[in-house]
Structure 1
Amino acid sequence: MALHGFNNLTKTLSFNMYDICFTRTREEREAYLAYIDEQYNAERLTKILNAVADIIGAHVLNVAKQDYIPQGSSVTMLVSEGPVEEAPDSSFEESPGPLPDHVVMHLDKSHITVHTYPEYHPDEGISTFRADIDVSTCGEISPLKALNYLIHSFDADIMTIDYRVRGFTRDTSGYKLFIDHEISSIQNYIPDQVRDRYQMIDVNVYQEHIFHTKCKLRAFDLNNYLFGYTKDQLSVEEQKEITRSVQWEMDELFYGTNMDAPFTAN
């Protein structure tokens, strides 16, 4: 569509993921947190955000990154308009975005950030790792095009995804436009093979251009939640108790509320 001046709409994608692990002892917990801290250190997170910038066609102006003690890291990128390497596609068809090596459009000054939060229960055997990523863009492109890549970059048990369009722009007659593309659900930007792996819930406020999707992994393999050993080293009763504890943690994170049930003690 023909606009009067620059497209002033701001589109923000917030991608939040959780990884969950059952750690029976303090030593297991410390080993898990050390593994997570190395796996998602500031250096690797910077590479992930650089790939996101490439996908949305941004030019990185500045990078601020930090590893924290004892755990956690964060990266913030200031980005600006970059060169268009392919013809812009203004159709905004709802579909999963590209993986790296595809630069499709450009954007004006904005930012991309990531923060990590390792965490554990003070009494029980649950440890969690959370990563929060925000991609905020101005102009035509939606940061949802980077969602496919972000999902592939993190092995998430739970994902919470928010997308919002703010502000307005004008067409050549001065008519205000509060959104410049059709969108019915964030799920339409997630590949079918990923959607099949997750239970999903949508909470959308269409008139406010606010879209929210929560995802919880469907299949459950206890071995994926043990650190340093496998379930065949546990008794059947221990397997049941740990499964109950981990699944309860996943449900609380998915539904965003504390659920009244006992956890497994160390």
Structure 2
Amino acid sequence: MELTHQQRIELHGFNNLTKSLSFNMYDICYTKTKEEREAYIDYIDEQYNADRLTKILSNVSDIIGAHILNIAKQDYEPQGASVTILVSEGPVDDAKEEAFKESPGPAPTAVVGALDKSHITVHTYPEYHPDDGISTFRADIDVATCGEISPLKALNYMIQSFETDVMVIDYRVRGFTRDVSGHKLFIDHEINSIQNYIPDDVKDQYNMFDVNVYQENLFNTKCKLNQFDLDNYLFGYTKDTLSKKEQEEISHKLNKEMDEIFYGKNMS
């Protein structure tokens, strides 16, 4: 149900719908030796350390129109990092109408709206297969807002902030708010797919499919790169240093890893 600006003003009390966006990205790499694996982990820890992640989440906060109340960040040993930001209601102006349109958000320019009792978190998980040469970096970002604006407006920026081979994106609207007559509203904006918030040039790069439960306001989109170039997955060297057989074997391992993540199951 799409509400007019006047209908939104006439809600009874505060709009306390909770909108949660979970963005999981995966970067896959082939690391032939123990030294290469350790170098890859060091690279990821440097590239996505707590300070850089804090900057990314701060920009997300700007995009959804929030004020930062508190930041907690940590780099872990031997690897990984976490950042949690508490945010509160941001400024509101005429641009709030833009928050209800099914279109990609900025990358990044400010989008303003009313929200409160909200948080943004990120956790990173660099890891590698013990003996198969595959290294995988995963970052989980969660944006939870209470109020009118949807965290989906920050999705475009988040996609462009990471080197991503596979993405798993979940969006859910929880709770309800009431209009002045007491009628419950379980969602306050129209949505039929998370893909509506992803730019066309990004969608062209990925194979995507949705699993949506509309009656429960649950939306899921999975994305996997549709172009494969082995050079983009080798750490510290290029494919022309490998034999044809090695190229084929490594390509098979990498594609199998991405397929298993994309489909959520082990494949023989």
TM-score range, shorter chain: over 0.9
Aligned residues: 260
Asked if structure 2 preserves the Cα contact closer than 8 Å seen for 1:86 and 1:103, the reply is no
Q: Which residue of 2 aligns with 1:89?
A: 97
Aligned to 1:98: 106
Identify the residue that residue 186 of structure 2 maps to in structure 1: 178
- Say whether 1:211 aligns with 2:228: no
The whole-number CA distance in structure 1 between the counterparts of 2:50 and 2:226 is 30
Of residues 245, 248, 254, the one that matches 2:256 is 248
| Aligned partners of 2:91 and 2:112 also within 8 Å | no
Choose 101-110 or 37-46, whichever is displaced more.
101-110
Structure-2 residue corresponding to 1:264? none
Amino acid at match of 1:172: V
Deviation at 1:87, TM superposition (A): 3.4
The aligned counterpart of 1:62 is 70
Match of 1:10 among 18, 28, 32: 18
Name the structure 1 match of 2:31: 23
Give matches, 1:111-190, under 5 Å: 111-190=119-198
Offset, 1:85 = 5.4
Cα deviations by residue, 1:68-112 (Å, 9 ceiling, x for unpaired): 001000000010012225532167121001122323213112100
Work out whether residues 14 and 162 of structure 1, in 8 Å CA contact, stay in contact via their aligned partners in 2. yes
Off by >6 Å, runs of 4+ in structure 1: none
Rounded to whole Å, the distance in 2 between the matches of 1:72 and 1:134 is 16
Q: Which runs of 5+ in 1 are unaligned?
A: 261-266
Partner of 1:44: 52
Please tell me the root mean square deviation across aligned C-alpha atoms, in Å. 1.0
Deviations 1:8-59 (A, max 9, x none): 1000000000000000000000001100000000000000000000000000
Q: For the residues of structure 1 that align with 2:173 and 2:91, how far apart are their CA atoms? A: 24
Shift of 1:216: 0.2
Secondary structure at the counterpart of residue 231 of structure 2: helix
Structure-1 residue corresponding to 2:204: 196
1:222-233 residue pairs with structure 2 within 5 A? 222-233=230-241
Map Cα deviations across residues 164-216 of structure 1 (whole Å, 9 max, x no partner).
00000000100000001110000000000000000001000000000000000
Counterpart of 2:36 in 1: which secondary structure?
A: helix
Q: CA deviation at 1:238?
A: 0.5
What SS does the corresponding residue of 1:156 show, helix, strand or coil?
Answer: coil
Three-state SS of the structure 2 residue aligned to 1:105 is coil
Q: Which is further off, 168-177 or 96-105?
A: 96-105
Q: Structure 2: 5+ residue runs without aligned partners?
A: 1-6
Helix, strand or coil for the counterpart of 2:38? helix
CA distance in 1 between partners of 2:103 and 2:94 (Å)? 18
CA contact (8 A) 1:98 1:149 kept: yes
Helix, strand or coil: the match of 1:60? strand
1:162–1:210 CA contact under 8 A, matched in 2: yes
Structure-1 separation of matches of 2:100 and 2:249: 47
Pick aligned residue for 1:78 from 57, 81, 86:
86
Identity of aligned residues (%): 75
Letter paired with 2:118: S
- Structure 2 contact 95–111 (Cα < 8 Å) conserved: no
**8 Å contact kept, 1:85–1:103:** no
Distance across 1 between alignment mates of 2:194 and 2:244: 40
Tell me the TM-score normalized by structure 2: 0.95
Letter in 1 for 2:128: Y
Q: Would you say 1:33 and 2:64 are equivalent positions?
A: no
